[in-house]
């Protein structure tokens, strides 16, 4: 790369990996929670809703610190996962977890709204035609909600790319391991003569965000056409 | 089992509304009739399992709910035809049709698609279909799921008269094939008169009357459809088509002339005679343009709240109803047992009021 130096490039590559893993890994859970909040009536629904939205309201540093308390090397949960070969604290996997949690409310919100917009009458019609709940979801609800589901995934990806507070608190700012684009920009701004590198990363951030928005818009339009053709 | 195709005993409370409906319907087409808000749709949704009501539902002798058991909608096997069609907008007509087809494509698929005339629509999307086409595809989709019962919730309400006339015959065919019982919600008296073999009249969440369509429609004490819809069915044999465009029918030994009806001589027909098309004369009228005069005896008289009265007459062709004014009732001195003549204009029998068996 000529535009980006090796250190900057490492930050971009790491951010893309962290955001992709965070988005893909949280997608199934996000869909499940969005569907549950949109369609199911169960005790604890309000509590689940509040829990999902908590990262949006809490200061990111608090979320990061809570993650450190839960998944740190001395916490039972963190130690257990480390023994299973999935260390989180001060690793890129931890950065993915932190950004997934921070992006989760945005993902669930977009998906939930699009699932709520699907006519429940169509789901009832599918049930009368012999479709189990799983088949109704896969063949009716999900395809009709797909534009919103993809929009939620893209939004989550963009949010994960830019997550800073919880990430730096939980996994610190280790070059090549946990130094994502925002952490790198912050680090460059702390060092004399780092302005150029910081600006280049700012440009990359803007480029990725715009590309993500354009992609989600294009997908939504394609799906809308397919639905009405 | 008493030979009932559909047995229902349901209770459901929703705010102020209490549904408490029980009936057993024989094979054929059972119309749930009543004003909007009388609970018809709730009954149908409960039969489908889309609405969780207490009580029993049995179809074809198989219990779907009751005694603590409850079978979910996708394991009941209903062919639900919704008023708004509810086709899946993201699927082609073909995928819609076969969505509920168990083990691939049932053998009768070609026959159903041909009957409904939708073969040329297979690759279209629902958004590109007309209202009538959508209704036919929705009916086809329900039929192809090999249902144990067809539930039709005002399937024609969203259509104009021409489209209704296009869809009604399909329900008649399914009814007349007699393989699948149909539960049909309607508040349109003409539809009820034409389709029903059994009528379940509902009011405020309760069943007020159940019986064969002929009996319920001809019962002046009930007139669940409102007095204007009161009428009787006469079973008649088509005797001949005559040269001047009339058809001669025979009912209980009496001739009836109607504007040309469809069918071959010898066919048995069901003719609906609206109460307001029947006049009563004390003597056999002479020099009158009306062609059909039947000897009759007054069976019962029911005066309404307004100026009208409904008279039930026994004739050789079967019971028929006459709607007259209370003034005429008094002037003629009509009372049960009185021998009279029922007069019916040939042209007043609407063509669609005649249907085959």
What the block records as the tokens of B331 is 């002037």
What is the domain count for chain B?
2
Lowest mean per-residue pLDDT among A26-30, A191-195, A201-205, B189-193: B189-193
What confidence score (pLDDT) does residue B353 get?
55
Order of strands, edge to edge, in the sheet holding B6-14?
B69-70, B62-66, B54-59, B6-14, B17-25, B206-212, B198-203, B29-33, B182-186, B149-153, B78-81
- Residue B271 sits in a domain whose CATH number is 2.40.50.100
pLDDT in tens, B99-141: 998 655 556 788 888 888 899 999 999 999 988 899 999 999 9
Flag whether B225 is in a domain: no
Q: Is the pLDDT of residue A62 over 90?
A: yes
Q: Is the pLDDT of residue B351 over 70?
A: no
Q: Stretch B262-284: mean pLDDT, rounded?
A: 85
Q: In which element (H, E) is residue A220 found? A: helix A195-228
Domain ranges of chain A: 6-228
Q: Is the pLDDT of residue A170 over 80?
A: yes
Residue of chain B with shortest Cα separation from A130: B74
Q: Which of B70, B78, B88 to mutate to test the interface with A (most CBs of A within 10 A)?
A: B88
Alpha carbon separation from A178 to A23, A88, A94, A121, B257 (Å, rounded): 17, 11, 8, 47, 94
- Residue B174 sits in a domain whose CATH number is 3.40.50.300
Put simply, the answer to whether A131 touches B74 (Cβ < 8 Å) is: yes
Is residue B191 located within the same domain as residue B308? Answer: no
Flag whether B19 is in a domain: yes
Q: Stretch A165-181: mean pLDDT, rounded?
A: 92
* Cβ neighbours of B48 in A, within 8 Å: 128
What confidence score (pLDDT) does residue B112 get?
86
Backbone phi, then psi, for B301, in 5-degree steps?
-130, 135
Distance of alpha carbon B185 from alpha carbon B36, whole angstroms: 10
Nearest to A125 among B80, B125, B128 (CB): B80
Q: Is B244 helix (H, G, I), strand (E, B) or coil?
A: coil
Flag whether B254 is in a domain: yes
What confidence score (pLDDT) does residue B280 get?
93
Question: Which of the four pLDDT bands, split at 50, 70 and 90, describes residue B231?
Answer: confident
Flag whether B224 is in a domain: no
Backbone phi, then psi, for B204, in 5-degree steps?
45, 45
Nearest to B100 among A130, A133, A229 (CB): A130
What confidence score (pLDDT) does residue B226 get?
59
Asked which of B161, B194, B218 is the last residue of a domain, the reply is: B218
In terms of pLDDT, which residue wins out, A208 or B105?
A: A208
Query: A130 CB near a chain B CB, below 8 Å?
Result: yes
Put simply, the answer to whether A128 touches B50 (Cβ < 8 Å) is: yes
Is residue B161 located within the same domain as residue B300? Answer: no
Enumerate chain B positions whose Cβ falls within 8 A of a Cβ in A: 48-50, 72-80, 82, 84, 86, 88-90, 99-100, 102, 125, 127-128, 141-142, 145, 151
Asked which of B196, B218, B240 is the last residue of a domain, the reply is: B218
Domain boundaries, position B345: 231-356
Of B28, B77, B11, B6, which is closest to residue B48 (Cα–Cα)? B77
Alpha carbon separation from A226 to A137, B89, B123, B260 (Å, rounded): 19, 9, 13, 50
pLDDT in tens, B38-67: 899 999 999 999 999 999 999 998 999 988
Is residue B190 located within the same domain as residue B267? Answer: no
Class of domain A6-228: mainly alpha
């Amino acid at each position: 790369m000529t535009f980006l130096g090796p250190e900057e490039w490492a930050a971009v590559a790491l951010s893309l990996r962290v955001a992709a893993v965070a988005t893909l890994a949280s997608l199934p859970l996000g869909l499940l929670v969005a569907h549950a909040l949109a369609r199911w009536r169960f005790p604890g629904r309000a509590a689940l809703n509040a829990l999902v939205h908590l990262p949006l309201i809490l200061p990111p540093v608090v979320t990061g610190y809570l993650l450190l308390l839960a998944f740190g090397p001395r916490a039972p949960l963190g130690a257990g996962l480390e023994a299973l070969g999935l260390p989180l604290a001060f690793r890129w996997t931890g950065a993915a977890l932190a950004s997934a949690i921070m992006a989760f409310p945005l993902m669930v919100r977009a998906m939930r709204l699009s699932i709520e917009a699907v006519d429940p009458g169509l789901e009832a019609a599918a049930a009368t035609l012999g479709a189990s709940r799983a088949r109704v979801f896969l063949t009716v609800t999900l395809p009709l909600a797909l534009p919103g589901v993809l929009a939620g995934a893209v939004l989550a990806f963009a949010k994960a790319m830019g997550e800073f507070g919880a990430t730096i608190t939980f996994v610190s700012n280790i070059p090549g391991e946990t130094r994502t684009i925002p952490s790198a920009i912050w680090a460059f701004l702390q060092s004399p003569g780092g302005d150029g590198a910081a600006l280049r990363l700012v440009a990359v951030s803007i480029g990725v965000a715009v590309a993500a928005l354009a992609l989600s818009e294009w997908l939504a339009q394609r799906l809308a056409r397919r639905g009405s053709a | 089992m008493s030979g009932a195709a559909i047995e229902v005993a349901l209770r459901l409370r929703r705010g102020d509304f209490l549904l408490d409906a029980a009936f057993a319907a024989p094979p054929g087409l059972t119309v749930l009739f009543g004003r909007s808000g009388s609970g018809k749709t709730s009954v149908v949704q409960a039969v489908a399992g889309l609405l969780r009501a207490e009580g029993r539902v049995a179809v074809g002798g198989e219990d779907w709910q009751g005694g603590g058991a409850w079978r979910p909608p996708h394991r009941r096997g209903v062919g639900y035809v919704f008023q708004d069609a509810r086709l899946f907008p993201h699927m082609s007509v073909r995928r819609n049709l076969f969505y509920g087809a168990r083990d691939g494509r049932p053998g009768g698929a070609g026959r159903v698609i041909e009957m409904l005339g939708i073969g040329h629509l297979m690759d279209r999307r629902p958004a590109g279909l007309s209202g009538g086409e959508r209704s036919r595809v929705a009916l086809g989709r329900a039929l192809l799921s090999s249902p144990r019962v067809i539930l039709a919730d005002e399937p024609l309400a969203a259509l104009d008269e021409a489209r209704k006339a296009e869809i009604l015959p399909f329900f008649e065919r399914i009814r007349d094939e007699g393989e699948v019982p149909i539960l049909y919600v309607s508040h349109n008296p003409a539809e009820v008169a034409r389709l029903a073999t059994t009528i379940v009249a509902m009011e405020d969440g309760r069943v007020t009357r159940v019986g064969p369509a002929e009996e319920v429609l001809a019962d002046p004490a009930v007139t669940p459809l409102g007095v204007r819809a009161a009428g009787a069915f006469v079973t008649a044999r088509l005797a001949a088509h005559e040269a001047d465009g009339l058809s001669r029918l025979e009912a209980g030994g009496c001739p009836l002339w109607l504007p040309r009806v469809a069918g071959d001589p010898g066919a048995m027909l069901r003719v609906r005679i609206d109460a307001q098309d029947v006049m009563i004369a004390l003597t056999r009228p002479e020099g009158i343009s009306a062609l059909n005069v039947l000897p009759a005896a007054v069976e019962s008289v029911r005066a309404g709240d307004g100026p009208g009265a409904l008279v039930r007459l026994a004739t050789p062709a079967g019971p028929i109803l006459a709607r007259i004014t209370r003034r005429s009732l008094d002037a003629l001195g009509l009372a049960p047992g009185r021998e009279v003549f029922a007069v019916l204009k040939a042209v007043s029998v609407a063509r669609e009021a005649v249907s085959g068996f």
